[in-house]
Copies of this chain bind each other. A is one copy, B any other.
Amino acid sequence: MTTGYAGTVMSKGRTTDKQTEADEAYAVMRQSILGGGLMPGERLVETELAERLGLGRNAVRTSLARLEQDGLVERSPFRGARVRIISEAEAAEILEARSVLEGLAARHAAEYMTPEQVQELRGLLGQMEQQHQAGDLLATSELNSVLHRRIVELAALPMVAKLIDGLHAQNVRHQFRTVLAPGRAAQSLAEHRAIVDALATGDGELAEAAMRHHLAHVLRTLRSLQKNTTRS
Contact = CB atoms under 8 A, between A and B. Distances in A.
Interface of A: 19-20, 22-23, 58, 61-62, 65-66, 68-71, 77-78, 90, 93-94, 96-97, 99-101, 103-104, 157-160, 162-163
A153 to B, nearest CB: 14
Majority secondary structure of chain A interface residues (helix, strand, loop or mixed): helix
Nearest to A166: B163
Contact of A22 (B65, B93, B94, B158): B65
A135 to B, nearest CB: 35
Given A69-B66, A90-B159, A96 B100 contact: no
Contact of A66 (B22, B66, B71, B90): B66
A24 to B, nearest CB: 11
Contacts of A77: 19-20, 23
Copies in the complex: 2
29 contacts: A19-B77, A20-B77, A22-B65, A58-B58, A62-B62, A65-B66, A66-B66, A66-B68, A66-B69, A69-B69, A69-B70, A71-B159, A71-B162, A90-B159, A93-B157, A93-B158, A93-B159, A93-B160, A94-B159, A96-B157, A96-B160, A97-B101, A97-B104, A97-B159, A97-B160, A100-B101, A100-B103, A100-B104, A163-B163
Contacts of A159: 71, 90, 93-94, 97
A19, A103, A163 interface centre (most CB from chain B within 10 Å): A163
Contacts of A62: 61-62, 65
A33 to B, nearest CB: 15
8 closest Cβ pairs, A-B complex? A69-B69, A100-B100, A62-B65, A20-B77, A100-B104, A66-B69, A93-B159, A62-B62
Nearest to A61: B62
